[in-house]
């Protein structure tokens, strides 16, 4: 009984294990993937997914769920590929306004005690609608600085890995090391006690939504940097992927229990699942099926570990 | 007078009032010429949302966190496999329907199996399932558009007095659902589970059995809707279920069913589905593009939930 592993470490261990197992399998199947170029190719598309997952994590931290994530990332991508490209100042203003809308959404959801699922469901129509107005047909162009940032080749470690580590670090600092982060997680834990302690749950919810909006905007910009064009449906899959990533990374639906590092690892795992299949020469038809299967396996593993932990405590 | 007063207290009445208003505005714009055509089109095209929405409503009634995200994938897989099985053969229409229902039974059972065995929230379980089911559909479909048997296509697109048979099927399904909810013990069970699962368990309600049945019914209704939609639109397509993820939740909410669970409302599904279709046709008549239409749809959903929340707070 002297050695007790903290619960949070165990929660993080499962996604780390899942990602390592997948990586080892990929390297074993294709040793050439173990290179600068190979890693970059494997994880390139993971950067926008990781950003969207982190955005979803802020919403889940306050016990809400954002069903408009995919539509909003698509909207941000369309703005990036059109307005931000042609007139950067106006584009930046639009994206800032969109983040403000997210904050307002959080405030209204809190004030009127609305179900976040329905509000974000309605907003997903609005975002897609604006995106269709901006870009009726696929097209647009990536601003030069976005393109050069996403295709940069830092020494030793590929950009995709650097970006993932930076995202994980920044969100970890915000959520785990600042008083605002503590407040956000506390609202997820127990809203009443936050209010009784003299803090404002309203502020925390608005801040969580604003942070989610910010990271979702970054996801849209990063996506355009990789694809160099956009369309109104480019990221619709991100809604379900981002939820899956947070859960895969050890997050819970209620109680403000989320892990920023885990969320990024979860997103990387989901992105890697697709490449893994192509190395096995399995048809890419099964790509999203594999993502679902990995999710089930990781959740089963977590249940098993939780049970083990409870037994140890009891005995 | 008292009849009118009791009518306005019904939560579903507002979706019908809204649908009626939108209908009136659209018909006025066209000078009354489209009155019959619009009504029939609305009945036909909203029947798929009604069937899927009824299943989603039962799941949402189970309480907070209960939502079936696998609905679109189930629709696609059922439509694809049933049409593939029938292979444009009129004599296989009924077995084809059984194939679709079997898919629904399987998806629903696995959905609840995951919820129970892995002890995960229904949203995540049905999310995992939707990934796997969608993948199976992609794998079996291969981007081909498989045609329905001619007799089935004829059945789906025609009907008595211009009312499509699919609308009659939707009516039949909602009547059965209404009887189940209002007049059977099963309805009491899921309503009580939605209000308090712990209390329901202590009162001796077979919680697991009732929840299992609900997820299976939802998946079966989704696969029936997929079967009909694929026959109606001349073939199964991989994205045919996509819009029904949000639509199935939207019609439940607009129809007056409580998102927090415990209160369901069958007639509201009809009002809300008709309303959603009529809004689209109204904006079309006024010549607004797809973008504006979606923005308006979103604003309407948010407006409805804001109004509904005011109604609830004033009651307590």
Q: What SS3 state is found at B164?
A: coil
Judge whether B203 is closer than 8 Å to chain A, CB to CB.
no
Average pLDDT value for residue range A32-39? 83
**Given a cut of 60, is residue A190 above it in pLDDT?**
yes
Whether A243 and B123 lie within 8 Å, measured CB to CB: yes
Instruction: Identify the residue among A102, A116, A126, A252 best suited for mutation to test binding to B, counting B beta carbons within 10 A and taking the highest.
Output: A126
Judge whether B243 is closer than 8 Å to chain A, CB to CB.
no
Whether A123 and B131 lie within 8 Å, measured CB to CB: no
- Cβ contact A246:A49 at 8 Å: no
Pick A125's closest partner by Cβ from B65, B289, B301: B301
- Cβ contact B266:B252 at 8 Å: no
Give the separation between CA A69 and CA A66, rounded to whole angstroms: 6
A234-271 tens-digit pLDDT: 888 898 889 889 988 888 777 778 889 999 999 999 88
- pLDDT of B316 reads 32
Provide, as residue numbers in chain B, all residues whose Cβ is less than 8 Å from the Cβ of A236.
Answer: 242
Judge whether B307 is closer than 8 Å to chain A, CB to CB.
no
- Indicate the pLDDT class of residue B8, thresholds 50, 70 and 90: low
Reading the block at residue B35, the tokens are 């009155």
> What is the phi/psi pair of residue A68, to 5°?
-105, 10
Beta bridge partners of A230: A139
Provide, as residue numbers in chain B, all residues whose Cβ is less than 8 Å from the Cβ of A296.
Answer: 114, 118, 128
Judge whether B260 is closer than 8 Å to chain A, CB to CB.
yes
**Residues of A within an 8 Å Cβ radius of B:** 65, 67, 112-115, 117-119, 121-133, 136, 236, 240, 243-244, 247, 253, 283, 285-293, 295-296, 299-300, 303
**Given a cut of 50, is residue A203 above it in pLDDT?**
yes
Whether B289 and A132 lie within 8 Å, measured CB to CB: yes
- pLDDT of A128 reads 93
- % of chain B beyond a pLDDT of 70: 92
Whether B291 and A117 lie within 8 Å, measured CB to CB: no
Judge whether B283 is closer than 8 Å to chain A, CB to CB.
no
DSSP code at position B160? G
More reliable by pLDDT, B190 or A240: B190
- pLDDT of A1 reads 46
- Cβ contact B7:B131 at 8 Å: no
Of residues A36, A143, A29, A162, the one with CA closest to residue A90: A143
Least confident of A3-17, A45-59, A78-92, A218-232: A3-17
Pick A118's closest partner by Cβ from B119, B299, B305: B305
Return left, alpha or beta for B67; rule: phi > 0 is left, psi -120 to 50 is alpha, else beta.
beta
B57-110 tens-digit pLDDT: 999 988 877 889 899 999 999 998 888 888 778 888 888 899 999 999 999 999
Judge whether B136 is closer than 8 Å to chain A, CB to CB.
yes
Return left, alpha or beta for B89; rule: phi > 0 is left, psi -120 to 50 is alpha, else beta.
beta
What domains lie within chain A, and their CATH numbers? 7-307 (1.10.3470)
Pick A296's closest partner by Cβ from B128, B290, B293: B128
ipTM over 0.95: no
Whether B305 and A295 lie within 8 Å, measured CB to CB: no
Whether B291 and A136 lie within 8 Å, measured CB to CB: yes
Give the separation between CA B256 and CA B269, rounded to whole angstroms: 8
Provide, as residue numbers in chain B, all residues whose Cβ is less than 8 Å from the Cβ of A248.
Answer: none
> A12-16, A196-200, A300-304, B142-146 — which one is most confidently predicted on average?
A196-200
Judge whether B26 is closer than 8 Å to chain A, CB to CB.
no
- pLDDT of B314 reads 41
Whether B67 and A117 lie within 8 Å, measured CB to CB: yes
- Indicate the pLDDT class of residue A148, thresholds 50, 70 and 90: confident
B255-306 tens-digit pLDDT: 878 777 778 888 888 988 998 888 888 888 777 778 888 898 888 888 877 8
SS (H, E, C) chain A: CCCCCCHHHHHHHHHHHHHHHHHHHHHHHCHHHCCHHHHHHHHCCHHHHHHHHHHHHHHHHCCCCCCCHHHHHHHHHHHHHCHHHHCHHHHHHHHHHHHHHHHHHHHHHHHCCCCHHHHHHHHHHHHHHHHHHHCCCCECCCCHHHHHHHCCCCCCCCHHHHHHHHHHHHHHHHHHHCHHHHHHHHHHHCHHHHHHCCCCHHHHHHHHHHHHHHHHHHHHHHHHHHHCCECCCCCCCHHHHHHHHHHHCCCCCCCCCCCHHHHHHHHHHHHHHHHHHHHCCCCHHHHHHHHHHHHHHHHHHHHHHHHHHHHHHHC
The Cα of B116 is separated from the nearest Cα of chain A by a number of Å equal to 11
- pLDDT of B315 reads 38
Average pLDDT value for residue range A18-28? 89
A214-225 tens-digit pLDDT: 999 999 999 999
- Indicate the pLDDT class of residue B310, thresholds 50, 70 and 90: low
Number of CB pairs, chain A paired with chain B, less than 8 A apart:
140
- pLDDT of B106 reads 93
The average confidence (pLDDT) of chain B is 84
Instruction: Identify the residue among B77, B121, B128, B276 best suited for mutation to test binding to A, counting A beta carbons within 10 A and taking the highest.
Output: B128
Reading the block at residue B40, the tokens are 């029939």
The Cα of B3 is separated from the nearest Cα of chain A by a number of Å equal to 31
> What is the phi/psi pair of residue A7, to 5°?
-60, -40
Closest CA in chain B for residue A112: B309
The model's pTM = 0.85
What domains lie within chain B, and their CATH numbers? 10-315 (1.10.3470)
B132-158 tens-digit pLDDT: 998 888 888 776 677 888 888 888 888
Whether B135 and A289 lie within 8 Å, measured CB to CB: yes
Judge whether B289 is closer than 8 Å to chain A, CB to CB.
yes
Q: Give the H/E segment covering residue B3.
A: helix B2-9
Closest CA in chain B for residue A247: B124
Pick B121's closest partner by Cβ from A117, A126, A253: A253
Whether B295 and A114 lie within 8 Å, measured CB to CB: no
**Given a cut of 50, is residue A41 above it in pLDDT?**
yes
- Indicate the pLDDT class of residue A4, thresholds 50, 70 and 90: low
Closest CA in chain B for residue A282: B139
Judge whether B246 is closer than 8 Å to chain A, CB to CB.
yes
**Given a cut of 80, is residue B56 above it in pLDDT?**
yes
Q: What SS3 state is found at B77?
A: helix
Q: What SS3 state is found at B35?
A: helix
């Amino acid at each position: 009984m002297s050695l007790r592993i903290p619960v949070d470490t165990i929660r993080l261990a499962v996604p780390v294990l899942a990602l390592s197992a997948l990586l080892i399998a990929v390297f074993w199947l294709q040793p050439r993937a173990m290179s600068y170029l190979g890693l970059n190719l494997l994880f390139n598309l993971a950067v926008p997914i990781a950003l969207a997952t982190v955005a979803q994590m802020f919403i889940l931290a306050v016990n809400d769920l954002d069903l408009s994530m995919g539509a909003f990332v698509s909207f941000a991508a369309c703005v990036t590929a059109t307005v931000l490209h042609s007139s950067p100042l106006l584009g930046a203003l639009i994206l800032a306004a969109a983040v403000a809308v997210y904050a307002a959404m959080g405030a209204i959801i809190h004030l009127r005690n609305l179900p976040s699922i329905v509000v974000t469901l309605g907003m997903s129509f609005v975002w897609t609608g604006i995106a269709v107005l901006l870009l009726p047909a696929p097209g647009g162009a990536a601003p030069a600085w976005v393109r050069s940032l996403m295709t940069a080749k830092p020494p030793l470690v590929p950009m995709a890995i650097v970006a993932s580590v930076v995202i994980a670090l920044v969100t970890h600092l915000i959520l785990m090391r600042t008083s605002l982060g503590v407040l956000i997680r506390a609202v997820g834990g127990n809203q009443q006690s936050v209010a009784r302690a003299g803090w404002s749950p309203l502020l925390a919810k608005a801040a969580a939504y604003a942070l989610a909006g910010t990271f979702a905007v970054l996801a849209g910009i990063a996506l355009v940097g990789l694809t160099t064009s956009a369309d109104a449906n480019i990221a619709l899959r991100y809604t379900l992927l981002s939820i899956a990533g947070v859960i895969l990374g050890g997050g819970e639906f209620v109680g403000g229990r989320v892990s920023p590092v885990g969320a990024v690892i979860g997103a990387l795992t989901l992105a890697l699942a697709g490449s893994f299949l192509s190395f096995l020469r399995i048809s890419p038809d099964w790509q999203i099926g594999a993502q679902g299967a990995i999710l089930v396996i990781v959740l089963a593993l977590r249940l098993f570990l939780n049970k083990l932990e409870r037994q140890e405590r009891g005995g | 007078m008292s009849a009118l007063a009791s009518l306005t207290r019904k939560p579903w009445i507002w979706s019908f009032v809204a649908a009626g208003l939108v209908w009136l505005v659209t018909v006025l714009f066209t000078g009354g010429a489209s009155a019959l055509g619009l009504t029939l089109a609305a009945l036909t095209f909203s029947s798929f949302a009604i069937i899927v929405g009824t299943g989603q409503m039962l799941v949402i009634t189970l309480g907070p966190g209960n939502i079936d995200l696998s609905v679109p994938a189930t629709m696609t897989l059922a439509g694809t496999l049933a049409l593939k099985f029938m292979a444009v053969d009129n004599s296989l229409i009924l077995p084809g329907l059984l194939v679709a229902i079997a898919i629904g039974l399987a998806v629903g059972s696995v959905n609840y199996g995951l919820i129970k065995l892995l002890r995960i929230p229904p949203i995540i379980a049905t999310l995992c399932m939707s990934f796997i089911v969608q993948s199976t559909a992609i794998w079996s479909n291969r981007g081909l558009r498989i045609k329905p048997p001619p007799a089935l296509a004829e059945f789906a697109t025609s009907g008595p007095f211009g009312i499509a048979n699919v609308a009659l099927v939707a009516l039949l399904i909602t009547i059965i659902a209404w009887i189940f909810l209002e007049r059977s013990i099963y309805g009491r069970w899921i309503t009580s589970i939605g209000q308090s699962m712990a209390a329901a368990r202590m009162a001796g309600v077979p919680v697991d059995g009732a929840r299992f049945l609900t997820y299976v019914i939802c998946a079966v209704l989704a696969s029936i809707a997929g079967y009909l939609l694929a026959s109606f639109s001349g073939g199964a397509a991989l994205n045919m279920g996509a819009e029904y993820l949000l639509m199935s939740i939207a019609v439940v909410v607009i129809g007056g069913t409580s998102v927090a669970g415990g209160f369901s409302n069958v007639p509201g599904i009809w009002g809300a589905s008709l309303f959603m279709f009529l809004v689209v046709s109204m904006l079309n008549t006024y010549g607004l593009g797809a973008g504006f239409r979606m923005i308006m749809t979103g604003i309407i959903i948010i407006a409805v939930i804001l109004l509904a929340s005011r109604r609830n707070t004033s009651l307590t």
